[in-house]
Amino acid sequence: GRAIDGYNGWSARGAYFLEASPNSKYSGAIPLGNYVYHLDSQSNYGETIPWNNPLNLLQKNHWYAVEQFLKLNDPGIANGELTVWIDGRKIFQKTDLRFRETTDLKIESLWLNFYHGGTAKPETTYFLYIDNLVIASRYIGPMRMPGRE
């Protein structure tokens, strides 16, 4: 990790967390959230931000429309935004993020990778399928799927 200072970069990544315990009413579900490097992080590493909404608990073998909106803050103002929708329902919004202190830092690219965190190897093989990836400057909404109207 590397602490950010408002001039040397930022990042906002999607995150997968440990599968819900077999003893939980959400047994087998995969919770989602974000891992964000922002100016108010308390360490050299990013902050884990769980979405804390039952709708973010994804069941295996089911397609979901997961949409994220990111707006950088105005320099010096905590008005950066991260909003998330799952299947067209807003489930998370944070509107007080500080990513930068200069307008020279912008959204430059989308980096799509999947990483098993820490230093330990995964104990099992994981599969993730992605389809219909869209990058836009406005809300798109989920695709209409035959039989799911």
Q: Give me the mean pLDDT over the 79-92 stretch.
A: 96
In this structure, which amino acid lies at residue 2? R
pLDDT in tens, 46-61: 898 999 888 888 888 8
What is the secondary structure of 119-147 as a DSSP string? SSPPSS-------S----SS---PPP-TT
Is the pLDDT confidence value at 97 over 70? Answer: yes
Mean pLDDT of the chain: 88
pTM, to two decimals = 0.86
Question: d(Cα 72, Cα 81) in Å, to the nearest integer?
Answer: 7
Q: Which helix (H) or strand (E) holds 11?
A: strand 11-16
